[in-house]
């Protein structure tokens, strides 16, 4: 059995990570996709050719598409999920086991917690047990931490995000995926609140290229370990180019202005 430290070495390069997220189909429905990127095969091609650190997907995608040479891209299996159809306080319970994720070849498992929901206790308990199981198998545990629900007044406040980050770390998360609220100094504090757990930033909805490049620079400078990006890659007209650009910022510490100049000089 591989050790958890081996999985860290597989996932991270220079202490940083760029994850291709493709778990939106269950959560958002098909409205995020066009005729090209609705096909999981296309996403697997992007993940492989773009040399992403890993691809995050639900088990059904993994078992059908993360096969053969696509296994060269490390796999993160989401263990829970919910649709957007219910208007009640969010509850996302486990539907895939850690055992099955391991059989699919995952190096890590992911789980979403909606902190502040009336149902948060169920998710906290489930994720704590998932961390135990994952670590016993040498897998990493990733928490998608989204404060949301009737008990949350400001889900994007720095204090609320920091609280969620700390909760995830204390439950056993190795990596914590959060939203960036634009407060760079606040993010430095959030990263500190995570302790030895790594903080990665959600890509969110599609932005302009420069906006996304600038956001990436800001969060890396604040101490984030990288990004978990979906729509800003596979909704892009040139996803492989965007992947190269993000990797230059994340792994090679380049500034957006440098990259724009290099693009003008046709260096990519």
β-bridge pairing 226-229 and 75-78: unpaired
Q: What's the Cα-to-Cα distance from 257 to each of 141, 238, 239, 267, rounded to whole Å?
A: 35, 19, 20, 14
Tokens 């890659």, residue? 233
CB atoms under 10 Å from CB of 196, counted, come to 6
First-to-last C-alpha distance (Å) of the chain: 40
What is the greatest pairwise CA distance in the chain? 54
H helical segments located in the chain = 4-11, 24-28, 40-49, 59-65, 98-103, 120-136, 158-171, 184-193, 209-221, 231-234, 239-252, 256-264
Catalytic option among 4, 177, 198, 247: 177
196 belongs to the catalytic site: no
Q: Is residue 177 annotated as part of the catalytic site, yes or no?
A: yes
State how far the Cα of 19 lies from the Cα of 52, in Å rounded to an integer.
6
The answer to whether 56 touches 17, Cβ cutoff 8 Å, is: no
DSSP letter assigned to residue 71: G
Q: Which of 22, 65, 111, 146 is catalytic?
A: 146
Residues with active-site annotation? 146, 177
């Amino acid at each position: 059995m591989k050790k958890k430290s081996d999985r860290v070495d597989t996932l991270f390069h220079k202490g940083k990570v760029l994850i291709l997220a493709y778990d939106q189909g269950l959560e958002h429905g098909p409205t995020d996709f066009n005729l090209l990127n609705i096909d999981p095969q296309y996403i697997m091609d992007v993940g492989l050719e773009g040399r992403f650190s890993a691809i995050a997907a639900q088990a059904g995608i993994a078992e059908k598409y993360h096969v053969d040479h696509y296994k060269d891209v490390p796999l993160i299996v989401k263990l829970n999920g919910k649709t957007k159809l219910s208007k009640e306080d969010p509850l996302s319970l486990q539907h895939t086991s850690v055992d099955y994720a391991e059989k699919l070849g995952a190096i890590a498992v992911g789980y979403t917690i909606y902190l502040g929901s009336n149902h948060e206790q169920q998710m906290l308990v489930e994720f704590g047990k998932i961390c135990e199981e994952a670590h016993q198998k040498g897998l990493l545990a990733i928490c998608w931490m989204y404060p949301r629900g009737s008990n949350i007044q400001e889900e994007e406040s720095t204090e609320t995000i920091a609280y969620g980050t700390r909760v995830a770390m204390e439950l056993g998360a190795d990596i914590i995926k959060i939203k960036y609220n634009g407060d760079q100094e606040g993010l430095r504090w959030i990263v500190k609140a995570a302790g030895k757990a790594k903080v990665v930033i959600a890509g969110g909805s599609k932005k302009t290229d420069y906006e996304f490049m600038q956001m990436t620079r800001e969060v890396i400078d604040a101490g984030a370990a990288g990004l978990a990006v979906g729509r800003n890659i596979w909704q892009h007209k040139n996803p492989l180019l965007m992947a190269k650009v993000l990797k230059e910022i994340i792994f090679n510490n380049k500034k957006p202005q440098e990259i724009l100049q290099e693009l003008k000089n046709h260096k990519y």
